[in-house]
Amino acid sequence: MEPLKILNVVGCRPNVIKIAPLIAEMKRHSEICQFLVHTGQHYDDALSGIFFRNLDLDPPDVCLNIGSGSSPHQMSLIMRGMEDVLLEINPHLVIVVGDVTSTVASSLTATSLGFPVAHIEAGLRSFDRDMPEEINRVLTDAISCILFATEGSAICNLLREGKSREEIFFVGNVMIDTLIMNAGKIARSSILSQLGLTPRTYALVTLHRKSNVDESSALVEICEGLEQLQRRIRLVFPIHPRTAVRLQSVGCWKRLMSLPNIQIVEPLGYLDFIKLMKESVFALTDSGGVQEESTFLGLPCLTVRENTERPVTITHGTNQLVGTQRSTIVEKGLEIIDGRRSQVQIPTKWDGHASKRIVSVLLDKAESIKQSLSSARKGEGCPHTLTPA
């Protein structure tokens, strides 16, 4: 019997973290033949290559090397590159993860050519259409034939948007799979000694969202909040290259660098970053991944946004939305420093077995997936719902 040929697509750092445990699980099954394409949306070694090495991932089978640029520019390059890759490999299924430009561009290309698409992290919604990621999520889900959800709210969102229950699979969170799989290596990381830190003496800061970094007023307000917080606790800030440029342009860079209790460091690999997070007092972030990882670790998390597409991190986890006003950022940070903690419950199916559930679904539906590709390639289009296996 012909193996199920799957084309996995990644474009940036979070995608690599999410796809690693899935590829590891696929390799355990001879019934699956998988290929990995990296679009090159993140191309700096600190944001891409080191994650492949940390997670023991083989180099991608294909790298499109699209580089930097506006979203429309990147999308056009990805779509052109993906068209050639898809026609050459001719997979039965294309798997995309997350909500970045590479996710939606690859999904659109695959669907237009008649290749079925499966979306991991389907159904997450912030309900903020000013976020590029929200548009990417909605579009990708609309054209995907298989939808893998991480939390209950995602299922409700997909059903409300008209997706069929037969298309949706509640599998858990592959990011937690990666964290659990690498627990031993994370524990052995020497990043704290390298940075001269001791556990529970610092907070972790990350900033990269367009709404925070590209909006001058928000960025200045956040920086003023950091300035006040560093009077009570050391802040360790692995900085995204684009964030560093923006801090300089709004006049905050020199000020932050001069503060005695803020430690700005280069971007970190996965193992070092999770170790740094795990041993901190709390995380101050705008990252969706950090919201999820901190919830699993039981670490308080302050999200500098007005909304989140991961509500389970608030209802079950450690996450709080604090917006971008310095007064709220400081107030909530001081509450944690002074010992106020919330009760934590690990979300359902965040147990390290999401990848196994995904592969089980794929194997169960293998013949249906192959048939849907055959129909679509004959010009009948990708069926809205795959027939039951």
- Give me the CATH number covering residue 332: 3.40.50.2000
- Domain assignment present for residue 108? The answer is yes
- Range with lowest mean pLDDT among 199-203, 289-293, 311-315, 340-344: 340-344
pLDDT at position 372: 79
252 and 150 in a common domain: no
Average pLDDT value for residue range 122-148: 96
Please count the residues of the chain. 389
Which of 8, 20, 37, 38 lies closest to 355, judged by CA?
Answer: 20
Helix H or strand E encompassing 375: helix 366-375
Q: How many structural domains compose the chain?
A: 2
pLDDT at position 376: 64
Which of 378, 368, 373, 28 lies closest to 166, judged by CA?
Answer: 368
Options 208, 240, 316, 353, the catalytic residue: 208
207 and 162 in a common domain: no
Q: Is residue 369 a contact partner of residue 362, using CB atoms and an 8 Å limit?
A: yes
The pLDDT confidence band at residue 387, using thresholds 50, 70 and 90, is very low
Q: What's the token pair of residue 218?
A: 């928000």
pLDDT at position 43: 60
**Cα angle value 369/172/109 (rounded, 5°):** 40
User: What average pLDDT is seen over the chain?
Assistant: 93
234 and 355 in a common domain: no
The pLDDT confidence band at residue 308, using thresholds 50, 70 and 90, is very high
Which of 80, 138, 71 lies closest to 106, judged by CA?
Answer: 80
Average pLDDT value for residue range 168-193: 98
Q: Which domain holds residue 19?
A: 4-172+350-380
> What are the phi and psi torsion angles at 126 (to 5°)?
-95, -15
99 and 227 in a common domain: no
Quick check: helix, strand or coil at residue 167?
helix
- Domain assignment present for residue 386? The answer is no
Based on the residue annotation, tell me whether 208 is a catalytic residue of this protein: yes
Q: Is residue 386 scored above 80 in pLDDT?
A: no
Q: Give the span between the Cα atoms of 92 and 365, in whole angstroms.
A: 11
The pLDDT confidence band at residue 67, using thresholds 50, 70 and 90, is confident
**Cα pseudo-dihedral 133, 138, 140, 142, rounded to 10:** 180
155 and 12 in a common domain: yes
| 174-181 and 288-297 helices, crossing angle to 10° | 60
Bigger pLDDT: 358 vs 341: 358
191 and 328 in a common domain: yes
pLDDT at position 343: 78
pLDDT at position 388: 38
